[in-house]
Each structure stands twice: as structure tokens, then as C-alpha cells.
Structure 1
């Protein structure tokens, strides 16, 4: 898989959102679930590993807590919980 650097530990985790090829190069947004805060975004990239390609948006450093994942159309998709020192994975 392509190299990624995650900045996790203490109260900071990471979020990997798995998407399909139809979302390649599209933005995915997240925001804290408990307040009306600005959204963070990242782009879905094709990441290759030997004989397969995964399409993911990676948020490498996210403070622990609950976050809304926003679908590319702008609708709420899900709420995910980020834990410090861990990588949370979600399938869009």
C-alpha cells in the first residue's frame, strides 16, 4: 500500500474512509458530531498494493470523539467514534 504517515497517540487517532472507484478524487468531509463546527476534508485517492487498488480518504490526525462523516453530496452519512492511539476504519 502507498506510504502514509499517521500522527496518532494519546488523545489523537486516525480515520480511514474506504470508498469505491466512483469516488476517486472526490472530497469526503468530517466534522465533530456534537457541534456545528467547520468541516475537515480529504480526497479519496487510489492506493495500490501489489495486485489490488483501494480507494480511501485518510484523516491522519483526529482528536478522539464522535464525528459525522458527510457523503460527497453533502448529506450526513454516518457517525464514527475516533479513539486516541487507534486507526478507525469506515466504509462509505
Structure 2
């Protein structure tokens, strides 16, 4: 079973990755007029956080799994937004 501390640490790291990615995403959107903005670094951080969540969810109880699942949805949504923005043609 996953400890409460392990789940809290994982959620905190994920929240930090999400916050960092959102800041870089906002910066990329501001610089959109200047050309292509590479989101590969924040996407890599999000993917690492996502993988950590998945590993921890295996040994979590149902309540912990629910918290981890909600965080996983936040990460996936942000990843999708960044990927779509990254590949959107500029006119």
C-alpha cells in the first residue's frame, strides 16, 4: 500500500510540473507571433509526472487512486492542449 506521504509528495511534484508547464505554455502563446515555440521540455516533465502517478496508483488504496486519477486527468488535459497548440499552423 502506498503511504500517505508518498502520495502527497507525488501530487506535489505533479502540481509543480503542471504549474511550470502552464507558465511555459503561456510564454509560448505570447511568443506565437514570433514563430514556432518548442514545448518538448515541459511535455517531458509532464510525462515523467504522469508515469510516476501510474506507478504509485498500482499500490494505492481506492481513495488515493481517486486523487491520483484526478491529477492524471489534469496532466493529460494540459498535454493535449500543448500538443495541439504546438502543431497548430500559424497564419
Q: Which has the higher helix share?
A: 2
Larger Rg: 2
TM-score (norm 1): 0.29
TM-score (norm 2): 0.29
Q: Which has the higher strand share?
A: 1
